[in-house]
Amino acid sequence: MQQELKIQNSLSRQKEVFKPIHEGRVGMYVCGPTVYSDVHLGNCRTFVSFDVIYRYLTYLGYKVRYVRNITDVGHLEGDTDIGGEDKISKKARLEQLEPMEVVQRYTVGFHDVMQVLNALPPSIEPRATQHIIEQIDMVQSILDNGYGYVENGSVYFDTNKFVKETDYYGKLSGRKVEDLMTETRDDLKNQSEKRHPSDFAIWIKASPEHIMRWQSPWSVGFPGWHLECSAMSTKYLGQTFDIHGGGNDLKFPHHENEVAQNIGSCGHAPANYWLHTNMLLMNGKKMSKSDGNSITPEELFTGNNPNVSKGYSPMVLRFFMLQSHYGSTLDLTDVALLAAEKGYKRIMEANQTLQGLQHSGNGSASELDQRIQGQIAQVHIEMNDDFNTPKALAVLFDLATTINRLQGGQDKLSDVQPETLAQLQQVFQDFLFDVFGLKDETATGGGQGNADLMNGLMDIIIEVRKGAKETKDWPTADLIRNKLGEMGVQLKDGPEGTSWTRDI
Ligand code: AMP
Ligand code: ZN
Give the orientation angle of helix 367-384 with respect to helix 389-408, to 10 degrees: 160
Given this model, what pLDDT does residue 283 score?
Answer: 87
Task: Specify the range with the lowest mean pLDDT, choosing from 78-82, 135-139, 379-383, 453-457.
Answer: 78-82
Task: Determine the atom of ligand 1 nearest the C-alpha atom of 32.
Answer: 6
Does the beta carbon of 427 lie inside 6 Å of ligand 1? no
Which ligand has the shortest distance to the CA of 282? Answer: 1
Q: Is the CB of 245 under 6 A from ligand 1?
A: no
| pLDDT, mean of residues 446-452 | 54
Q: Cα of 67 to ligand 2 centre, how many Å?
A: 11
Instruction: Count Cβ atoms within 10 A of the Cβ of residue 388 and give its class: 0-12 exposed, 13-18 middle, 19 or more buried.
Output: middle
Average pLDDT for 53-62: 98
Measured distance CA(75)–CA(85) in Å, rounded: 8
**Does the Cβ of 49 fall within 6 Å of ligand 1?**
no
For a substitution probing ligand 1, which of 34, 43, 295 has the most ligand atoms within 8 Å of its CB? Answer: 43
46 alpha carbon to ligand 1 midpoint, in Å?
6
The topology (CATH level 3) of 6-277 is Rossmann fold (3.40.50)
Residue 192, pLDDT above cutoff 90? no
Whether the ω angle into residue 495 lies within 30 degrees of 0, i.e. cis, is: no
Query: Of the candidates 218, 213, 183, 214, which has an alpha carbon nearest to the alpha carbon of residue 200?
Result: 183
Residue 232 vs residue 499, higher pLDDT: 232
Ligand 1 contact, 244 CB (< 6 A) = no
CA of 120 to the centre of ligand 1 (A): 18
Residue 500's pLDDT band, with cuts at 50, 70 and 90, is confident
Whether 321 lines ligand 1, by a CB cut-off of 6 Å, is no
SS (H, E, C) 165-202: HCCCCCCCCCCCHHHHHHCCCCCCCCHHHCCCCCCEEE
H/E stretch holding 26 reads: strand 25-30
From the list 259, 266, 257, the residue with the least C-alpha distance to 156 is 257
Is any ligand 1 atom within 6 A of the Cβ of residue 332? no
287 CB less than 6 Å from ligand 1? yes
Q: What are phi and psi of 349, to 5 degrees?
A: -70, -35
How is residue 151 annotated by DSSP? E
Cα of 254 vs centre of ligand 2, distance in Å, is 6
Q: How far is the CA of 259 from the centre of ligand 2 (A)?
A: 11
Q: Would the CB of 417 count as within 6 Å of ligand 1?
A: no
Q: What is the pLDDT of residue 187?
A: 43
Does ligand 1 have an atom closer than 6 angstroms to the CB of 392?
no
308 lines ligand 1 (CB under 6 A): no
Reply yes or no on whether the pLDDT at 452 is more than 70.
no
Ligand 1 binding pocket includes 249 (Cβ within 6 Å) = yes
Annotate 222-256 with b (16+ C-beta within 10 A) or e (fewer).
bbbbbbbbbbbbbbbbeebbbbbbbbbbbbebbbb
Give yes or no for residue 257 CB within 6 A of ligand 1: no
Can you give the pLDDT at residue 178?
80
What does the domain layout of the chain look like in residue ranges? Answer: 6-277, 289-442, 448-502
| Pairing status of strand 280-282 against strand 285-286 | antiparallel
CA-nearest residue, atom 8 of ligand 1? 43
Does the Cβ of 279 fall within 6 Å of ligand 1?
A: yes
From ligand 2's centre to the CA of 245, what distance in Å?
Answer: 8
How far does the centroid of ligand 1 lie from the alpha carbon of residue 342, in Å? 28
Higher pLDDT, 460 or 20: 20
What's the pLDDT tens digit per position in 142-176? 999 999 999 999 999 999 999 999 999 999 999 88
280-323 pLDDT, tens digit each: 999 899 998 778 888 999 999 999 999 999 999 999 999 999 99
Residues 387-441 have pLDDT tens digits of: 999 999 999 999 999 999 999 999 999 999 999 999 999 999 999 999 999 999 9
Is residue 177 very low, low, confident or very high in pLDDT (cuts 50, 70, 90)? confident
pTM value is 0.87
Atom of ligand 1 nearest to the CA of 75: 4
Architecture of 289-442 per CATH? Orthogonal Bundle (1.10)
Task: Identify residue 280 by its one-letter amino acid code.
Answer: L
Give residue 249 CA to ligand 1 midpoint distance, Å.
7
Segment 40-53 shows an average pLDDT of: 97
96 C-alpha to center of ligand 2: Å?
Answer: 28
CA 39 to ligand 1: nearest atom: 2
For 213-250, the DSSP string reads: -B--SS-SEEE-HHHHHHHHHHHHH-SSEEEEEEEGGG
User: Which pLDDT score is estimated for 361?
Assistant: 87
Mutation test of ligand 1: which of 46, 228, 229, 321 has the most ligand atoms closer than 8 Å to its C-beta?
Answer: 46
**Closest C-alpha to ligand 1, atom 9:** 247
CB-hemisphere CA count at 13 Å for 390? Answer: 11
Q: Is the CB of 45 under 6 A from ligand 1?
A: yes
Whose C-alpha lies nearest to ligand 1, atom 7?
43
Residue 290: other Cβ atoms inside 10 A: 9
For the residues 340-355, what does the mean pLDDT come to? Answer: 97
User: Which of the four pLDDT bands, split at 50, 70 and 90, describes residue 190?
Assistant: low
Report the chain's mean pLDDT, rounded to a whole number: 92
- 3-state SS of the chain: helix, strand, coil percent to 5? 50, 15, 35
